[in-house]
């Protein structure tokens, strides 16, 4: 038995586009104006969110491509924490002692 996998997906995409097109055409001019404004605000926020996440994407990509990132010297943390006046129980809670 053969499946129509790709054909049924294309058909459903066409039906969705046709449904959206008919609904858009049935809107009045004021409704279309409001819909465009709402869509503009939503896409502006999406663009802003993507722009804010770009540094994290760069860190993620560098983490995968540069193995030296994983070669961190724990003695650096030990020297920093030795200078901080932290009680012993707090140091043990955060895994430093």
Cα 70 to its chain centre, rounded Å, is: 23
State the pLDDT confidence band at 97, using cuts at 50, 70 and 90: low
Mean pLDDT, residues 41-58 taken together:
86
Highest mean pLDDT among 27-31, 42-46, 58-62, 64-68: 27-31
Residue 63 neighbours by CB under 8 Å, 6+ apart: 69, 70
Residue-by-residue DSSP string for 15-46 = HHHHHHHHHHHHS-HHHHHHHHHHHHHHHHHH
Which pLDDT score, from 0 to 100, does residue 7 have?
57
Radius of gyration of the chain (CA): 27
Number of residues in the chain = 97
For the chain, the distance separating the N- and C-terminal CA atoms, rounded to the nearest angstrom, is: 64
User: Is residue 72 within a helix (H) or strand (E), and if so which, with residue range?
Assistant: none
pLDDT of 43 over the 90 cut: no
Compare 73 and 6 and report the one with higher pLDDT: 73
Average pLDDT over all residues of the chain: 78
Q: What is the pTM of this model?
A: 0.41
């Amino acid at each position: 038995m053969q499946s129509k996998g790709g054909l049924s997906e294309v058909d459903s995409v066409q039906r969705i586009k046709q449904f959206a097109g008919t609904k858009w055409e049935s809107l009045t001019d004021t409704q279309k104006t409001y819909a465009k404004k709402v869509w503009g605000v939503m896409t502006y926020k999406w663009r802003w969110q993507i722009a804010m996440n770009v540094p994290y994407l760069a860190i993620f990509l560098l983490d995968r491509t540069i193995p030296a990132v994983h070669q961190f010297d724990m003695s650096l943390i030990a020297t920093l924490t030795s200078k901080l006046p932290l009680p012993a129980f707090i140091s043990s809670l955060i895994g430093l002692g």
